[in-house]
Amino acid sequence: MIDIKQLREDIEGVAKALDTRGFELDVELFVDLDDKRKLLQVDTEHLQSQRKNLSNDFGKLKSQGGDTADLKLHIDSINSELKVKDEALQLVQNQLNDFLYTIPNIPNKNVPLGKNELDNKVVEISGDIISTNELDHLEIASDIDIELASKLAGSRFVVLKGDMAKLQRALISFMLDIAIKNGYKEHYVPFMANVDSLTGTGQLPKFEEDLFKASDNLYLIPTAEVPLTNMFRDVVVSDKDIPVKVTSHTPCFRSEAGSYGRDTKGLIRQHQFEKIELVQVVDSETSLDALEGLLNNAREILDLLDLPYQVIELCTGDLGFSASKTYDIEVWMPSQNKYREISSCSNFSDFQARRANIKIQTGTSKKLAHTINGSALAVGRTLIALVENNFNSETNSIKIPDSLKAYFGADSIRLWTFFI
């Protein structure tokens, strides 16, 4: 949530900044609601002052044995009027809060301007594209079973069998170990979250259709960012503990409501997928540097796996709702002859911290924290990148990278499907 003070002091500047990301701020609505709030607040405070003075007069008169009937009637009348004003003020305040919850974050001033993904900026290309393979992961590995998953749960699910299940498990352990080496504390977290948690990180109220709702007002988590960040909701963190660095492996659940017809084949876009998430709570003065560090933590995994990738900086028009600055890492997918997203690393400035009330204390002073997070990495997409980039049609096998051999327990996966 952006700072309401910033809206009051420079609403035209905020509107201009939000326009760069394709969001039209309803300036007239905000001004109207805020003016109503001001008037009601002035009226309420005036009535409270009147009531206080009359109550003092009532007490003095009563102690002197005087007639307090008229004063009591006056106080009762003010109480009735105050109740009406209080209810009206609360209603307007709720409307203001609802309005604020729909406004995306303001892009960092260093983010490149642009309308959509076509305007994103490639900042690095790493690794050589060696594979000439044109087969996709489903054609290569029969143990990636989409048909069986469809029988069990419908489209956009997968069953991994045998060596593919083992490869996924190896990747998860490998990624967590890298995160721990880089200073992140591992957590096991619930795979469901409540409304307050999803509101804190920005999924609710605006993006409910992207979530899977369970019972008792709980939702399946779309990412471990939600529980990891909300561990610090309504918490004041000592500056001595900054930066806070936490990680978790979880399944992630997304309805993919806006992706009908896209990536319907294979593991690219699933309703359920595995991911290792990195989350940091940091000081505002160091948050941009912390984002660069987190990006390097994610890149390190691809470097160790010898997978070619590129890093892009998202333009203003392609930023996620809560992000002020984002880097995407895209891994090379031979079957598609292009790079595909495998990690998104974002700085949220104080946007999530304001919604979730996450603060840092230095001495006697407190201020809002900054939050950053990123995937390191999306496990399923890493798996299919390994399958496609490391497939050797001559030996009918998939090479296991050196860094992963100890986790997988072999240097290759032998396939039983023969390719002509």
pLDDT in tens, 91-101: 999 999 999 99
326-381 tens-digit pLDDT: 999 999 999 999 999 999 999 999 999 999 999 999 999 999 999 999 999 999 99
Q: Which residue reads 């002073």 in tokens? A: 365
Beta strands in 146-191 (DSSP E): 159-160, 185-186
- The confidence score (pLDDT) of residue 264 equals 60
In tens, the pLDDT along 108-159 reads 999 999 999 999 999 999 999 988 888 999 999 999 999 999 999 999 999 9
Residue 317: pLDDT over 80: yes
How is the chain split into domains, by residue range? Answer: 26-101, 117-414
Three-class DSSP category at 296: helix
In sequence order, what are the residues at sequence separation of 6 or more whose Cβ sits closer than 8 angstroms to the Cβ of residue 318?
114, 116, 117, 119, 120, 326
Q: Which CATH superfamily is domain 26-101 in?
A: Serine-tRNA synthetase, tRNA binding domain (1.10.287.40)
Structure tokens at 229: 């960040």
- Beta-carbon contacts of residue 191 (< 8 Å; ≥ 6 apart): 220, 221, 250, 251, 253
SS3 187: coil
Query: Does domain 117-414 match CATH 3.30.930.10?
Result: yes
Cβ atoms of 329 and 311 closer than 8 Å = yes
Please report which confidence band the pLDDT of residue 403 belongs to, taking 50, 70 and 90 as the band edges.
very high
Are 193 and 218 spatial neighbours (Cβ–Cβ below 8 Å)? yes
pLDDT at 259: 56
pLDDT at res. 420: 45
Can you spell out the DSSP letters for 188-229?
A: ---SEEEHHHHHHHT-TTTTGGGSEE-STTEEE-SSTHHHHH
Classify residue 98 as exposed, middle or buried by CB count within 10 Å of its CB (0-12, 13-18, 19+). exposed
